[in-house]
């Protein structure tokens, strides 16, 4: 660690150098002063370096963690740097399992191959559900025909066999227009992509390839908003923020057409697109005071901040339980590398109450 007195002493050295400059040739004056100034600036920067928390992963979870990080930095008077980036759940887990980041945002549970990657690297983690999302299928407001869709119709539209074959609305439903639809969706590194494909098509990552994909949910919203024949999927927070530009499709999974909302997520009726979202904390990072403080702040303030970014919070008792799990460093996952399709909030809480994780 750099001694602060060493950095502070640079100012004295610069003053001395200025006094001696008249004795130096012109080029040495410039060179000596430039080198000393560079060294002093570097030492001052290192001496005052902030503790840094590195977070990456899901674009869906990003707004939640970002507002928590911003509020945390305010309470810490910006003495801790909290960096929140986006590379998708899959991209985030790659970095996390290489030990490059402290926390990964994930819109799905950790998968089996990621569990193995972390195990190979000696990375243990604490799994923390932090909210519920209602993955939303959205259409353009000018679309007045497909405001309700069944899970079967969505599968017919998105399954691999549809590529190049199913391209018109009336091929999905004869009552719909004889016009081509335009598809937008999350990219292949996204947990939203994994969840949607498994929930709708029946197999994770199984999907037609002729659609516009992006890790930027705002780009997907813009695409749907720009064409009356567009349809796409993304997290509910991005839909709620853009309700004046896009319309949510009511999903009929055999029990009537259900729109995404706090009520339909809480009562478990918005299926199969209701899902928990997570952060995973590296167990070694959890020993850092700044990370411990951050996660503590996260769980104590999630109830209000999750609502602020238009997601659905867990019940207060769930955050209390997760804070206990974090403080006791309960490592592993309750999902055993499997998805959380159809998991209601109540079922999630019951699982979290277990004394041991399946992958301890």
* Domain locations along the chain: 4-47, 56-132+277-352, 136-259
Residues in the chain with pLDDT < 70?
1-48, 354-360
Contact 333, 128 (CB under 8 A): no
**Which string of DSSP letters, residue by residue, matches 113-181?**
HHHHHHHHTT--EEEEEEEEEE-EEEE-TT--S-SEEEHHHHHHHHSGGGTTT--BHHHH-TTS-SSB-
For residue 257, the SS3 value is strand
pLDDT tens-place string over residues 86-138: 999 999 999 999 999 999 999 999 999 999 999 999 999 999 999 999 999 99
pLDDT value, residue 340 = 85
pLDDT value, residue 353 = 73
CATH number, span 56-132+277-352: 3.40.190.10
pLDDT value, residue 50 = 83
Domains 56-132+277-352 and 136-259 share a fold: yes
pTM for this structure? 0.82
CATH number, span 136-259: 3.40.190.10
In angstroms, the CA 82 to CA 304 distance is 20
pLDDT value, residue 1 = 38
């Amino acid at each position: 660690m750099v001694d602060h007195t060493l950095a502070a002493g640079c100012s004295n050295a610069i003053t001395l150098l200025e006094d001696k400059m008249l004795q130096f040739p012109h080029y040495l004056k410039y060179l000596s002063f430039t080198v000393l100034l560079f060294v002093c600036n570097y030492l001052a920067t290192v001496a005052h370096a902030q503790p840094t928390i590195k977070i990456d992963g899901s674009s869906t979870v990003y707004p939640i963690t970002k507002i928590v990080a911003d509020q945390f930095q305010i309470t810490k008077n910006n003495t801790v740097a909290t960096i929140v980036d986006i590379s998708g759940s899959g991209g985030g887990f790659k970095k996390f399992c290489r030990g490059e980041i402290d926390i990964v945002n994930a819109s799905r549970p950790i998968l089996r191959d990621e569990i193995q990657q972390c195990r190979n690297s000696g990375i243990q983690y604490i799994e923390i559900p932090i909210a519920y999302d209602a993955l939303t299928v959205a259409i353009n407001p000018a679309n007045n025909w497909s405001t309700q869709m069944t899970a079967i119709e969505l599968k017919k539209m998105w399954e691999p066999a549809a590529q190049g074959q199913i391209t018109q609305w009336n091929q999905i439903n004869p009552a719909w227009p004889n016009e081509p639809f335009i598809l937008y969706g999350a990219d292949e590194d996204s947990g939203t992509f994994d969840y949607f494909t498994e929930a709708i098509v029946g197999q994770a990552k199984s999907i037609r390839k002729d659609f516009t994909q992006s890790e930027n949910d705002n780009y997907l919203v813009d695409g749907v908003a720009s064409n009356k024949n567009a349809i796409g999927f993304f997290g509910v927070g991005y839909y709620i923020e853009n309700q004046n530009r896009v319309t949510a499709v009511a999903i009929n999974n055999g029990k009537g057409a259900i729109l995404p909302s706090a009520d339909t997520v809480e009562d478990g009726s918005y299926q199969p697109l209701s899902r928990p979202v997570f952060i995973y904390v590296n167990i070694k990072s959890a020993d850092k005071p700044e990370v411990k403080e951050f996660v503590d702040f996260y769980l104590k303030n999630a109830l209000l901040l999750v609502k602020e970014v238009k997601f659905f919070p867990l019940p207060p008792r769930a955050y209390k339980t997760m804070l206990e799990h974090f403080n006791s460093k309960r490592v592993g996952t309750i999902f055993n590398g499997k998805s959380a399709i159809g998991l209601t909030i109540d079922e999630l809480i019951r699982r979290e109450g277990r004394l041991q994780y399946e992958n301890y």
